[in-house]
Structure 1
Amino acid sequence: MELIIGTITIVSLLFALGLMTKVHKVNSYFFGALLFLVISLTYFRVYLIAIANWELIDQFNPFLYSYLLLFLPLLYFYVNRVLNIETRKFLHLLPFFAHFAFQLLRFTPLSESDAFHFSANLFKFIFLAQAILYGFLLIRSLNQNATRIENQYSNLAGLKLNWMKSILFAIFSCGFIWGISWIIFLISSYKVIELGFLHVFVLLILFFLYNGMYTQRPVIDLIEHEKEEKATQARISLADLSDKIERESLYRDPELNLKKLAEHLSIPMRELSQVINREGETNFHSYINSFRVAQVKKDLRDPSKDQWTILALALEAGFNSKSTFNAVFRKHVGMTPIAFKKAENTAENN
């Protein structure tokens, strides 16, 4: 067991150093590297306890709990970097600095033993409060991202971050149960706490980092990167916009987003977004997909396309996946594509 824990410690440290060398390419890697560093410190502490090196543990007493309070803030920073959302970072680090200062300076009339137990209990309550607070903050960030991408992208595959919601729910559930267990003393065995909840907690974070670094499609705020000088150009009405999109079949482009459409029409993205949001009372995603759904409905009624599969018609109309098409079609029409086709055939026969 000591060998496994020691190996995890070294590997986590190497990952942290490796990511630090790539920070200039991807900003989120900086917070990923810091998370790996905290993981390395955590397992180093577990390793010292596993080999019963109490002398060295005593020397690390000021750091014994404090650095664990960096887990959730760093995870929050990492997610917001992936989503391109700015945060005020120093405020989120105050619990860590406050607890660390208490550990280091011991500004308390309590005895050494009582001060240690007070510090440990203080950590438990802070960690539990963090699990609740950052659970809420991350849900808010993900909802903010969902609203933003629906206003800027027509196809959301790889951008909706459902995997992130699922893993974050598991991480914070684990952290919350971990904190509750500490506080009400449901778990008294050190090994159960450290090697049970800790392993699950860390593995979830590692899986989260892997998905964010290697499988996640970049989430870019298109409007934020628009040049300011374009903001004074002429307006376009929703009717003219719809006419141009339909006449030129612009919706058939599966990669169509707010930026591409704005460049094609030579109008600023902010203005285009406002026309769709205010006049159309909808978002960019629903607006463009309404043309695609209308095209699929038209093709399903066309006898010359009876040999086409429904998926082929969907891809031809601009959808980029079967699951996205089915969900959007059902939302706009109120029934599945197959049910719609059957209803149309029944109506024709009657």
Structure 2
Amino acid sequence: MFIASDYVDILSENIVSTFAVLFFVWLTLLPPLLYGIIQFKLNKVLLDIRHLYIPIVLFFINIFSLLYFSVQKDEKVFTYEVVENVMTYSNYIIILFVFPISTFYYSFLSFRSLQFFPSKNNFKKNIEKGLLFWFVLLYDVYIFIWILTNYLIDNSSVKSVLKVYYTGYFILSIAILFKLSAKRDEFEIEDSENSIFEEIGKKLNHKIHSDKIFLNPQINLKLLAKEIGTNEKYLSQYINKNYNKNFSLFINEFRVEYAKQILINGEYSNYTLEAIGSLSGFNSKTSFNSTFKKYTGETPSEFKNKKELN
């Protein structure tokens, strides 16, 4: 529309007419494209072709009309008037009814898909949705200003000020899309790491509860990582994040719990404390005593005697 109206003296009539009618097609494309961007960024889902039926139909109407007018020059011919009326009324219906309704409808769908309230905390928790929210909101403001400058405001100074937003809108929108692309890479890396950590969790759980690998006095972070099939960094991060403790505390906690079960088990009543400590994965009696007391507040012998008295 900008080209069609402002460069009419420079460009040929056919070019101006083409830009003018394609502008209406572009109007019908904008709202579903906005929704399509939201769906793709959120769910990696391409926009269903059904959302593009109106732009496609209007495109063929306008292109057919332009081709017909380039061949038929006699305006008095009945078909000329029919084609002209079909094209004119189709575009008027688009700009007066379809475009406003479509903008409202797809903006509503976009905001509903985001399910995002623009608070500071929400933005920090989900930057991607926050950026997409502003992307949709900036579009809605852009359309509102476009309507004001084209239909409701006659003051040229006010219109000029409002038109400054056009440039700002495109710059901000491009910046948001670039930011989203960068964030998407970060999210993909994070998703990849999450799947790695999930696999580590499953294998670690099996090694601890089924294989009771903590009973091996020689087990360390490097050996356990090798058993699980990961590296020390990921294993250490997983234990720190999910158990809020380092590897040594994590393993010793299972050893102490295992030792407590043996100490109260009559089958092991003739075992020395050193033997029980060895069975529980401790490599010395001193280490067994100190670690056991650290976790329970009692030495192994005190714990055993108390349980026997009870």
TM-score (norm 2): 0.36
Q: Which has the higher contact order (CA 8 A, sep 6+)?
A: 1
In terms of fraction of residues, the more helix-rich structure is 2
